Amino acid sequence: MTQQLFFPDWKDVVVFSAAGPKPYVLTETVNYKAVVVGLAAGAVLPPHEEGAAIFHFLEGTGQVIVGEETFAVQAGATVVVPDGAVRGIEATTQLALLAVRLPR
């Protein structure tokens, strides 16, 4: 099977589910994983530790916790998360993001 290299519109792959996040994997290698994540309004990704990551927000509003800091995010915002930092996300409105994560 050939890996898909082009995604004309992220809205074609994002999933907003009341049952919780269902990340769509764009690509995954031993070095990184890239996903599109949709969070319904009020949904939460609880604080947890992982490897370094970059979150770029595509739609909506919410808050991101990185370590001891909380950032208000909206479409166009980018958050850089250091390796091992605790991070979490809470969607105020329907929220979509592109996340690139490195293994821990």
81 inside domain: yes
19 inside domain: no
Domain total of the chain: 1
Give residue-wise pLDDT tens across range 69-85.
999 999 999 999 999 99
Could you tell me which of 67, 69, 62, 68 has the C-alpha nearest to residue 89?
62
- Domain assignment of residue 42, given as a range: 38-104
DSSP 3-state of 12:
helix
In contact, 57 and 75? CB cutoff 8 Å: yes
Beta strands in 1-104 (DSSP E): 24-28, 33-39, 44-49, 53-59, 61-66, 69-74, 78-81, 86-91, 95-101
28 inside domain: no
Give residue-wise pLDDT tens across range 12-53.
999 999 888 999 999 999 999 999 999 999 999 999 999 999
- The residues with which 80 forms a beta bridge, in sequence order, are 54
| CATH number of the domain encompassing residue 103 | 2.60.120.10
79 inside domain: yes
What mean pLDDT comes out for the span 47-66?
97
CA 10/CA 61 separation, integer angstroms: 17
Residue 59 has pLDDT above 80, yes or no: yes
